[in-house]
Amino acid sequence: MGKTIFRENFHQADWDEPIIYEMSTPGVRGILVPEPDQKIKDRAGDVLAKIPASLRRKEEPNLPEVSQKHVLMHWTHLAQETMGSNLTNDISEGTCTMKYNPRINEELVENTDFSLLHPEQSEETVQGILEIYSEFENIVKEVSGLDKATLQPGGGNHAVYTAASIVRKYWEEKGELEQRDEIITTIFSHPCDAATPKTAGFKVITLQPDEQGLPDIEALKEAVSERTAAIFMTNPEDIGLYNPKVDKFVEIVHEVGGLCFYDQANANAFLGVARAKEAGFDMCHFNVHKTFGTPHGGSGPGNGAFCCKQKLAKYLPVPTVEHDGDKYYPDYDRPHSIGKVRDFYGTAGVIVRAYAWVMAMGEEGLRETADISVINNNYLYRNLVEEVKGLSYCYPDNGLIRQEQVRYTWKELTDDTGVDTLAIERRIADYGIQHYWTSHEPWLIPEPMTLEPCESYSKDDLDEYIKVLKRIAEEAYQDPEMVKNAPHKAASRKRKDDNMLDDPERWALTWRAYQKKKDKIHAD
Amino acid sequence: MAKRAFPYIPNSVEEIKAELLEDIGISDVEDIFKEIPDHLRFDGKLNIPEPKLSEYELKKHVERILSKNKSAQDNLNFKGGGVWQHYVPSVCRTIAGRDEFLTAYVGDAYADHGKFQALFETASMIGELVEMDAVNTPTYDWSNAIVRSIRMAARINGRKEVLIPASMSPSRKKVVLNYCKPDIKVTEIDFDQETALIELDDLKAKLSEKVSSVYIENPNYLGYLELEAEKIGELAHQYGAEFIVGVDPSSLGVLEAPANYGADIVCGELQPFGLNMKWGGALSGFIASPDEEKYVGEYPSLLFGITPTVEEGEYGFGHVAFERTSYAQREKGKDFIGTSTALYGIIAGVYLALIGPKGLIELGEGIMQRCEYAKEKFAELEGVSIPIQTPSFKEFVVDFSGCSKSVKEINQLLEEENIFGGIELGEKMEEYQNCALFCFTEVHDRYDINKLINSIEMIIEKY
């Protein structure tokens, strides 16, 4: 058994890195592009003269001029000033399932048999990638219990948007779209379960929780009507409670003719344990970059695997991947399709990695993933609330056993010390741990913190996390100002004034904007 | 022999698991899952393929499947149409593989300071290419950047119609139709088949004060420069519409920054900047606009801004106008936001710093030279013609109507010569039957082009 790790003397890399434009020297090159040979140049003539004056660039684009060494150095420094989950104890980003992203999968996607495929190649030349798509679709169909899948959406929210598009098409074809203009969701479902139906043209009704913290079934009964197009709901919701009546929600919506979408963005703890099918849902999706072990990329590329029952399959975006008994092919001949939500086939590299992740795990490995995720979480939260002063968790007396994550609250500590969750979130980086996820908006649970210790984390990691939060709580009681001014040992200090970022006079999204505004930004 | 632990699951060691269960005060994981009623439980074992538990077997297995593909590694590729084969510098690959960037997610700009700075720098360089002061963090792809731009415009002026060129990428058009479906009417502007350019008369006829925005692509899907772009912008502005320009930004070393011919919003695709084709999986879109509240306030995506910290002289970063987003306001936010393509955005920045201003100009000029050379070579072939004389950037249309073979047949025979021929246009655009869209970039030398031309000549003569 390892010792409890505690990075008392941690300091993140802090290069005080200049902006790339400050490293520029005229004439310096980072890489040379291959020139066409003289015969090409001779035959081609003065090509730039063929561009009409209004479209011809008059001045060199203002890009930095930096040598190759300094480009490598600069972005390596910036990488070192970033806390990727493969390097750290990232139990922090609850709801995000920050699991280990295997290196072998990075090697596989660099294989030129994949990386140098053009999406317009003939189907005969892409049988390998089509096979991987088909195999991974089979996997998500089995994990969900549903009939048909698409891997086109570029992320989880995009898959939920795809669901909203399919709901719209379903009602349009039934001739009832004008009447069916409402989609119901719950306040602890991800914000996209409200925002994507709105983007797709629906009115959104949001259910509040009952006294147990679960979606209020009585509120649902009042909300459903002949206007209900669908319900979009997460389970467990992002506070970590499994809704045992979820099938009743489905029944109530089905009774009024509505469709039911299961947001399974994070299905990690339920692999082989519970599925959309048994709960009665018509559609669901998985965030492939969460549950299926692919890297988050600093916020993408991700992928949203969308699954549905057969009755909705005809609406899926084109192309679907099919097999004619002999070979795989992309099927564009789908007259009821919603069209496309993204160019081409989706983030194919994510699918190659996810397929490899599942193939490294197998059925037993997936189930072990679920088991260890809930065991880790129960170990973590019981010890945290026992050992850390001023920390509690939401709905502590509802009698429900927590599953894969917990929403905690620092309210007591904040009331006692004035140190709020945002300060603690900053301070944790001083111990070599990524800032934790507080909560989606609105914060119904005061001073929130959401942790998700998925299967990648060892007992030593869990113990380290407990020890760090215990220490920070002690610091908050003993030296609140120090915690409020954190971070002290991260790659950057506290922002001077967050209000600047909301002020059109003082925000700057580019270096050129900063040059124009810097006097105002530094005015005081 | 004891059960082997899963390498990705440290606590799968039986003794550790037992210790954790004991600490929790339960004997079995089912004591946790009992919260899920029996009838909602999956009763059985997932029917998925037998695993390849060792890394060696896994690698061999996946590589065996991938080897069924034929790629541009062993074949000369002349397909573009929204995904283009450019050289990916080694430094781009090195940075893309850094676990710090690769496995980060949504930490704040303290522990993830480097990620924020990297995306700010990419936005800064894109801003210089298009000459605009506000640039977003990346969208899923160009098509999503277009629809976000169109919807931004509709919120800015409250109008509900967009004019798009009928010549735009058919695939991107499908995405536009999907996103505009609820409340924005999509009207297509005709184009002249002989020039591939927008019909100004048709544009004038369709413009009205109901039009929220006019969208054009420059170069357009077929590779041609929209010569009257400035005029199109003026016409849009006469009716109070926003003028949105979509670009392949690798052209912006030689082509004018869209802001300088009237664009209000610019969008485009970052894939040419250091990202391999990956079967179309490495797309990443951007949006740029003036740094005015009326525009910035309507972006749906995250925006990273530079700001001082409490330490004198230190650059800090943070989210600009976060309250706009659906993260902050759910259905009251601007469209929706989510995991997009941050890593690709970072790589695009690395590429732009490597290539620099002179390199980007050389890239653009060299591509145009290869295209002009290839056009001449094509025109020498009997039965083959270059039907459109409009200046083009890295793609152009080749007409095979005079040949006895269809484009599909020619492409099949080219595949036997290890060549991926041009994209068959007939299926995508009815105006261009028996035509193909060819793409040439810096990866093609004279021998590659000659091999293509000679192979086509042989195919035409032989059959």
The tens digit of pLDDT for each residue in B252-295 reads 999 999 999 999 999 999 999 999 999 999 999 999 999 999 99
B36 touches chain A (CB under 8 A): yes
Candidates A38, A59, A63, A202, partner chain B, best to mutate (most B CBs within 10 A): A63
Which own/partner pairs from A313-319 qualify as long-range (CB within 8 Å, at least 24 positions apart)?
A313/A147, A313/A148, A315/A165, A315/A166, A315/A169, A315/A170, A316/A148, A316/A150, A316/A166, A317/A150, A317/A152, A317/A162, A317/A165, A317/A341, A317/A342, A318/B174, A319/A345
Identify the weakest region by mean pLDDT among A253-257, A266-270, A345-349.
A266-270
The answer to whether A121 contacts chain B (CB < 8 Å) is yes
**DSSP letter string over B200-247?**
HHHHHHH--TT--EEEEESS-TTSB--TTHHHHHHHHHHTT-EEEEEE
* Euclidean distance between CA atoms A371 and A270, whole angstroms: 8
Residue B461: per-residue pLDDT: 86
**What is the per-residue pLDDT for B359?**
98
Q: Do A279 and B40 touch (CB under 8 A)?
A: yes
Are A289 and A350 in contact by the 8 Å Cβ rule? The answer is yes
ipTM over 0.90: yes
First to last CA, chain B: 66
How many contacts does A have with B, using Cβ atoms within 8 A? 750
Distance from CA of B440 to the nearest CA of A (A): 11
Q: What is the mean pLDDT of residues B190-209?
A: 98
Residue A294 scores a pLDDT above 60? yes
Nearest to B269 by CA among B282, B255, B286, B256: B286
Residue A64 has pLDDT above 80, yes or no: yes
Sign of the Cα pseudo-torsion (B96, B101, B104, B108, in order): negative
What string of H, E and C letters represents the secondary structure of A54-69? HHECCCCCCCCCCCHH
pLDDT at position B347 over 60: yes
Q: By CA distance, what is B348's nearest residue in A? A: A75
Inspect the interface and report whether the beta carbons of B6 and A361 lie closer than 8 Å. Answer: yes
Q: Do A341 and B328 touch (CB under 8 A)?
A: no
Mean pLDDT of the region B128-137:
97
Residue A330: phi and psi, rounded to 5, are -80, 130
What pLDDT, on the 0 to 100 scale, is given for residue A238? 85
Average pLDDT for chain B: 97
**Which candidate from A29, A50, A113 shows the least CB-CB separation from B391?**
A50
Can you give the length of chain A in residues? 524
Contacts of A12 in chain B (CB under 8 A): 111
A405 CA to chain B: closest CA distance, Å? 12
Using one digit for the tens of pLDDT, what is the confidence trace for A85-117?
Answer: 999 999 999 999 999 999 999 999 999 999 999
The CA-based diameter of chain B, rounded to the nearest angstrom, is 83
B225 and B255 Cβ atoms separated by less than 8 Å: yes
What is residue A447's three-state secondary structure? coil
pLDDT at position A512, please? Answer: 98
- How high is the pLDDT of residue B382? 94
B410 in helix, strand or coil? helix
Q: What is the pLDDT of residue B219?
A: 98
Q: Are A436 and A407 in contact (CB under 8 A)?
A: no
- The DSSP line for A489-512 is SSSS--BS-GGGGG-TTT--SSHH
B-chain residues near A113 (CB < 8 A)? 63, 66-67, 69, 71, 73
Q: Closest to A274 (Cβ–Cβ): which among B36, B45, B278?
A: B36
Sign of CA dihedral A370, A374, A379, A385: positive
Residue B1 pLDDT: 56
Summarised one tens digit per residue, pLDDT across range A195-231 is 999 999 999 999 999 999 999 999 999 999 999 999 9
Q: How many CB atoms lie within 10 A of CB B22?
A: 11
Q: How far is A477 from chain B (nearest CA, A)?
A: 23
Nearest CA distance, B91 vs chain A (angstrom): 6
pLDDT tens figures, A18-47: 999 999 999 999 999 999 999 999 999 999
A299 touches chain B (CB under 8 A): yes
A453-486 residue pLDDT tens: 999 999 999 999 999 999 999 999 999 999 999 9
Topology at the third CATH level for domain A126-356: Aspartate Aminotransferase; domain 2 (3.40.640)
CA distance A464 to chain B (A): 15
Residue B63 tokens, joined: 């590589």
Looking at the complex, report in whole angstroms how far the Cα of residue B413 sits from the nearest Cα belonging to chain A.
12
Residues on chain A touching B119 (C-beta within 8 angstroms): 298
Judged by a CB distance cut-off of 8 A, whether residue A230 touches chain B is: no
Report strand pairing: B161-165 vs B134-135.
unpaired
CB A44 within 8 A of CB B373: yes
In this complex, is the C-beta atom of A80 within 8 Å of any C-beta atom belonging to chain B?
yes
From B68, B307, B338, residue closest to A495, measured CB to CB: B307
B353: closest CA among B85, B94, B118?
B118
**Other CB atoms within 10 Å distance of the CB of residue A512:** 22
Give the model confidence (pLDDT) of B394-451 as tens digits: 999 999 999 999 999 999 999 999 999 999 999 999 999 999 999 999 999 999 999 9
Q: Which of B46, B135, B177 sits opposite A143 (nearest CB)?
A: B46
Helix (H) or strand (E) holding A173: helix A156-174
| Chain B residues with CB-CB distance to A485 below 8 A | 310
The whole-angstrom separation of Cα A411 and Cα B227 is: 62
Q: Which pLDDT band holds residue B157 (cuts at 50, 70, 90)?
A: very high
Chain A within 8 Å of B394 (Cβ-Cβ)? no
Say what the pLDDT of residue B2 is.
Answer: 67
Alpha-carbon gap: B98 to the closest alpha carbon of chain A (Å):
7
- Chain B residues in contact with A289 by the CB 8 A cut-off are 339
In this predicted structure, the answer to whether residue B3 has a pLDDT above a threshold of 90 is: no
Residue B210's identity, in one-letter code, is K
Q: DSSP H helical segments within A388-478, as ranges?
A: 411-417, 421-427, 459-478
**CA angle, residues A487, A439, A243, in degrees to nearest 5:** 150
- Nearest CA of chain A to the CA of B355: how many Å? 6
Which own/partner contact pairs does B204-209 have at CB distance under 8 Å and 24+ positions apart? B204/B235, B206/B163, B207/B163, B207/B235, B207/B236, B207/B238, B207/B239, B207/B241, B208/B161, B208/B239, B209/B159, B209/B239, B209/B240
Residues with Cβ within 8 Å of B379's Cβ and at least 6 positions away in sequence, in order, are B385, B386
DSSP state of B190: P
Q: What is the mean pLDDT of chain A?
A: 97
Question: Which parts of B106-222 fold into alpha helices (H)?
Answer: 113-130, 142-157, 170-180, 200-206
Q: Where are the alpha helices (DSSP H) in B46-89?
A: 55-66
Chain A positions touching B105 (Cβ under 8 A) are 85, 93, 96, 98, 296, 298-299
Tokens of B89: 């510098």
A103-110 and B55-66 helices, crossing angle to 10° = 20
- What domains does chain B contain, in order, with CATH numbers? 90-352 (3.40.640.10)
Strand B395-399 relative to strand B213-217, pairing: unpaired
pLDDT score of A316 more than 80: yes
Q: Sort strands B423-424 and A448-451 into parallel, antiparallel or unpaired.
A: unpaired
Helix, strand, coil in percent for chain A, rounding step 5: 45, 10, 45
Give the integer Cα–Cα distance in Å for A53 and A62: 20
> B423 to chain A: which residues are within 8 Å by CB?
120
Q: How far is B358 from chain A (nearest CA, A)?
A: 7
Q: Which burial class, exposed, middle or buried, applies to A416 when counting CB atoms under 10 A from its CB (0-12, 13-18, 19+)?
A: middle
For position A4, what pLDDT does the model report?
78
Can you tell me the distance from the alpha carbon of A512 to that of B4, in angstroms, rounded to the nearest whole number?
Answer: 56
In a mutational test of the B interface, the residue from A10, A24, A82 whose CB has the highest number of chain B CBs within 10 Å is A82
Contact indicator for A388, A466 with CB cutoff of 8 Å:
yes
Contacts 24+ apart (CB under 8 A), B13-21: B16/A458, B16/A459, B17/A371, B17/A372, B17/A375, B19/A459, B20/A375, B20/A376, B20/A379, B20/A459, B21/A375
What letter does residue A230 receive in the DSSP assignment?
E
The answer to whether A329 contacts chain B (CB < 8 Å) is: no
Report whether the peptide linkage leading into residue A64 is cis, meaning its omega lies within 30 degrees of zero: no
User: What pLDDT score does B463 carry?
Assistant: 63
C-alpha B149/C-alpha B155 separation (Å) is 10
Answer yes or no: are the C-beta atoms of B170 and B428 closer than 8 Å: yes
With CB atoms and an 8 Å threshold, state whether B353 touches A61: no
Inspect the interface and report whether the beta carbons of B326 and A194 lie closer than 8 Å. yes
Query: Does A73 contact B at CB distance below 8 Å?
Result: no
CB contact under 8 A, A361 and B330: no
- Give percent of chain A with pLDDT exceeding 70: 99
